[in-house]
Amino acid sequence: MSKPDISTSAGSLQLSNPFLLASGILDENGYTMRRILDEGAAAVVTKSIGMEERSGYKPPIVSVDDPIVINAVGLPNPGILNVGNEIKIAKKSGKPVVGSIFGKDVNEFVHLAGKMEEYGTDAIELNLSCPHVKGFGSEIGGDSSLVKEIVENVKGSVKIPVWSKLSPNVTSLIDIARAASDSDAIVLINTVRGMKIDIHSGRPVLTNRLGGLSGPSIKPVGIRCVYEVKSSIDIPVIGVGGIESAADAIEYIMAGASAVQIGTALWKHGRGIFSKVSNELEEFMAAEGYTKIEDFRGLALT
């Protein structure tokens, strides 16, 4: 009996399996991205890149109390002029590289997207949803008219696919998703706004006080968001949030996701997680009699 086919697509982007590296984890250095691709990821999403270099916040920027992970790193990145060679190195893997970008207005997003296309990325991911950087993200990601304007202008300026990464920290996710519906795919979700306090000092643990909750704690939120968007809008969705096993990914796929991204789990399981979850997915599909991912994608929607 032949092995199940675990290939899929995110919009027009073809993927050897449904598992991508999420933005923000081991994705600033070209050699690290290439190694993750060589070790089983179907694609990588770069660290979110802005117009200029940012050093981010001073430590502590991460609090880990398994399964609770909260971070506020402040979008540190080398700036758009310094990532071209890293993308070139990662591209030598032969697998897709997606360029994540953030900006404060439409013009910045358009400029950044153009540079990413020039560097050879296979798609653009618009980070419209970082919840803890003043002047970025939450203000943009919660404004449906601005989201629509950014997506339309970026789509009109590049030839490669454009994905929009949305925040759960909004009044109406469906309204924002509709505003971003010109995208080739929607990525759900970014981190959930959270906070942790040291009970001995009475002070917030993170330098920025507020941070983004990630990891297993947000998986039910992510699955709910994918389900709600797919129930309302006919657009490819990429699921993110708390995926540590094939079973986690299968929940997202049954909610309608075409692919998923893995981030926080690398801290616990290392780079080998991509081959691990691919093997688990094949075993699940063989046991259940599925020959391809489309056999069960969106099953919960029916």
Directed axis angle between helix 30-38 and helix 84-91, to 10°? 20
What is the domain range of residue 287? 8-301
187-218 pLDDT, tens per residue?
999 999 999 999 999 999 999 999 999 999 99
Nearest 5°: the CA angle 54, 20, 131 is 40
Q: What pLDDT does residue 186 have?
A: 98
Q: Looking at the chain, which runs of residues are DSSP E strands?
A: 8-10, 13-15, 19-21, 43-45, 62-65, 68-71, 97-101, 123-127, 162-165, 185-188, 192-195, 197-198, 203-204, 210-214, 237-240, 259-262
Q: What is the CATH number of the domain that holds 161?
A: 3.20.20.70
Q: Contact, 21 vs 27, CB < 8 A?
A: yes
pLDDT(130) > 70: no
195 in a structural domain:
yes
- pLDDT at position 2, please? 86
Per-residue pLDDT at 110: 97
pLDDT at residue 132, rounded to an integer = 42
Q: What confidence category does residue 66 fall into, taking pLDDT thresholds of 50, 70 and 90? A: confident
Q: Give percent of the chain above pLDDT 70.
A: 96
pLDDT band of residue 233 (cuts 50, 70, 90) is very high
Identify whether the C-beta of residue 223 lies closer than 8 Å to the C-beta of residue 252. Answer: yes
CB 107 within 8 A of CB 90: no
| 255 close to 225: Cβ distance less than 8 angstroms | no
The verdict on residue 103 lying in a domain is: yes
Span 61-87, mean pLDDT? 94
Whether the per-residue pLDDT at 137 is higher than 80: the answer is no
Q: What percent of the chain has pLDDT over 90?
A: 90
Contact 63, 194 (CB under 8 A): no
End-to-end CA distance of the chain: 29
Q: Rg of the chain's alpha carbons, rounded to an integer?
A: 18
Which residues are catalytic, by number? 130
Q: Is pLDDT of 19 > 60?
A: yes
Distance CA 280, CA 6 (A): 11
Helices (H), 84-238: 84-91, 106-119, 138-141, 144-157, 173-179, 219-232
**Mean pLDDT over each residue of the chain, to the nearest integer:** 94
Query: Is residue 1's pLDDT more than 80?
Result: no
Assess if residue 79 is contained within a domain: yes
Residue 1 lies in a domain: no
- Give the count of domains, the chain: 1
Residue 3 resides in a domain: no
Tokens of 135: 């002047």
Amino acid sitting at position 284: F
Specify if 2 maps to a domain.
no
Does some domain include residue 72?
yes
More confident residue, 145 or 130: 145
The answer to whether residue 293 sits within a structural domain is yes
Please state the pTM of the whole predicted model: 0.95
